[in-house]
Chains A and B, each alone.
Chain A
Amino acid sequence: MDVTLINPFINATINVLETMAFMTVTPGKPFVKTDMVAIGDITGLMGLTGVANGTVAVTFQSDCILSVVSNMFGEEMREINAEIIDAVGELTNMISGQARRELEEIGRSFKAAIPSVVAGPKHSITHYTNGPRIAIPFETDNGAFTIEVCFEK
């Protein structure tokens, strides 16, 4: 797994949450994830093609995404509903876009598909390739979320 493919996703996540949700997020230590169960309640998933094929997934705990979207809308969101699901898709889209911009600067160009969203406790994340699943945990003042990046070997 090429680690230069990971940092752009960390930087993009920090930038997107800070700019759109006015939140400071703290990345933890990346690790290799060995199972398919999501670390949270709702996941945005996006396929990437280009110099390699892969997927990026953003999984939020409920309290975290409610706080994020409340900040984005300037209005308190209290339950996981269609608006929250939509927001997770757009957040995934923005993180992917920013990361791809940074990857382009190091000569790695990718295109992205339109994201899909899966919700529910203990849902699974199916990455499209067989490479290692690198998980990057993030902490916020209102809960945690995790980015998973998986590129083909």
Chain B
Amino acid sequence: MDTSIKVLVVDDFATMRRILKNILKQLGFKNLVEADDGTTAWDILEEQKIDLVLADWNMPKMTGLELLKKVRASENYAKVPFLMVTAEAQKQNVIEAVQAGVSNYVVKPFTAEAISEKLEKILK
């Protein structure tokens, strides 16, 4: 897994951003950027070169699903690895995310191993 890549962590809860960043650092990722909602995340995606996105679903202003659709519709980020990390675990949510082009899906609560496993799969 290439841990030199730039990772964007998006969640409206600072707690979750902190936990995810801790896990990513443990896995060797050093180039980490964060956003507290989808619109801020989109601004960052436009200004910087992001190689991987981890995003929550339920956020104000722009949800993770809306961000995913915007990313997949963009020329620069159509194929960027996008991991949804969310408490939304019902079947319809997963179906919607898959249809929108999510790379993989992690349900909260999660272990560091679960995150690592999903990242290994999507960064191959």
User: For the complex, what is the distance from the CA of A19 to the CA of B88, rounded to whole Å?
Assistant: 17
A97-B87 in contact (CB<8A): yes
* CB contact under 8 A between A98 and B109, given known A73-B19, A104-B90: yes
User: For the complex, what is the distance from the CA of A94 to the CA of B13, rounded to whole Å?
Assistant: 11
Q: Mark A84-123, 1 if CB is under 8 A from B, else 0.
A: 0011011001101110110010000100101000000000
B12-A114 in contact (CB<8A): yes
Interface size in chain B (residues, C-beta < 8 A): 21
Residues of A within 8 A of B19 (CB): 20, 72-73
User: For the complex, what is the distance from the CA of A48 to the CA of B91, rounded to whole Å?
Assistant: 17
B14-A86 in contact (CB<8A): yes
A77 to chain B, nearest CB (A): 11
Q: Which of A19, A74, A93, A109 contacts B58 (CB 8 A)?
A: A93
Using C-beta atoms within 8 Å of the partner chain, give the interface range for chain A: 20 to 34
Known A-B contacts: A83-B14, A83-B15. Give 20 more (CB < 8 A): A69-B15, A72-B19, A73-B19, A73-B22, A74-B22, A86-B13, A86-B15, A89-B13, A90-B13, A90-B16, A94-B87, A94-B109, A97-B107, A97-B108, A98-B107, A100-B89, A101-B90, A101-B107, A104-B91, A114-B12
Chain A contact residues, majority secondary structure: helix
Query: Does B116 have its Cβ within 8 Å of any Cβ on chain A?
Result: no
User: For the complex, what is the distance from the CA of A72 to the CA of B19, rounded to whole Å?
Assistant: 7
Q: Which of B60, B90, B109 contacts A100 (CB 8 A)?
A: B90
